[in-house]
Amino acid sequence: MARIRPASDADAAGVIAVIARAYAEYPGCVLDVDREETALKRPASSFDRFWVVEEGGRVGGCVGLSLGEPAELKKLYLDAALRGRGLGRELIALVEETARAAGARRIELWSDTRFLTAHAVYERCGYRRTGRTRDLHDLSHTTEYHFEKALGELTKRS
């Protein structure tokens, strides 16, 4: 059974492995932790909040939160075997509840244009694409879509 728990910096290797597996599903996506994603070396210390999904003693998913106005949902990734079980929606709801409790009225996220399944999940959870994009000029040649949501009502967690 999968469980969601607050991350520690000791979870770095598991978090990096989850994201590397997700990137490997998309041609051209490159995870370079040392040059582009150094925050992943200390996930609990690098974000205001960070959680992992653990199943069978290993990290199989993660999500982070940067507080502010708007708050920002960051680094939502799940192993393929954990998808379709409601864990993505549960992680999103946890981030939203935490942001709301910290006083945020809006939340945003940026998502690689290639991550179509993730976009569908975000939209089902009430996020709307704003039309803004940004190019990261990274090794993956990433362009991201911007999504946002007002934090009025609680999102139901399964």
**SS3 letters for 52-120?**
EEEECCEEEEEEEEECCCCEEEEEEEECHHHCCCCHHHHHHHHHHHHHHHCCCCEEEEEEECCCHHHHH
Instruction: Give the pLDDT of residue 109.
Output: 98
Count structural domains, the chain: 1
For residues 136-146, average pLDDT: 97
* Residue 15: band (very low, low, confident or very high) from pLDDT cuts 50, 70, 90: very high
pLDDT in tens, 94-111: 999 999 999 999 999 999
Instruction: Give the pLDDT of residue 152.
Output: 78
Whether residue 157 is contained in a domain is answered as no
pLDDT in tens, 52-82: 999 999 999 999 999 999 999 999 999 999 9
E-strand stretches of 1-57 = 3-6, 49-55
Whether residue 158 is contained in a domain is answered as no
Does the pTM surpass 0.85? The reply is yes
Whether residue 155 is contained in a domain is answered as no
* Residue 30: band (very low, low, confident or very high) from pLDDT cuts 50, 70, 90: very high
Whether residue 156 is contained in a domain is answered as no
Instruction: Give the pLDDT of residue 39.
Output: 97
Task: Give per-residue burial for 46-64: e unless 16+ CB within 10 Å, then b.
Answer: bbebbbbbbbeeebbbbbb
Give the range of the structural domain holding residue 12, as residue numbers without chain letter: 3-150
Percent of the chain surpassing pLDDT 70: 96
The answer to whether residue 127 scores a pLDDT higher than 80 is yes
Whether residue 8 is contained in a domain is answered as yes
Which CATH number do you get for residue 44? 3.40.630.30
Instruction: Give the pLDDT of residue 88.
Output: 96
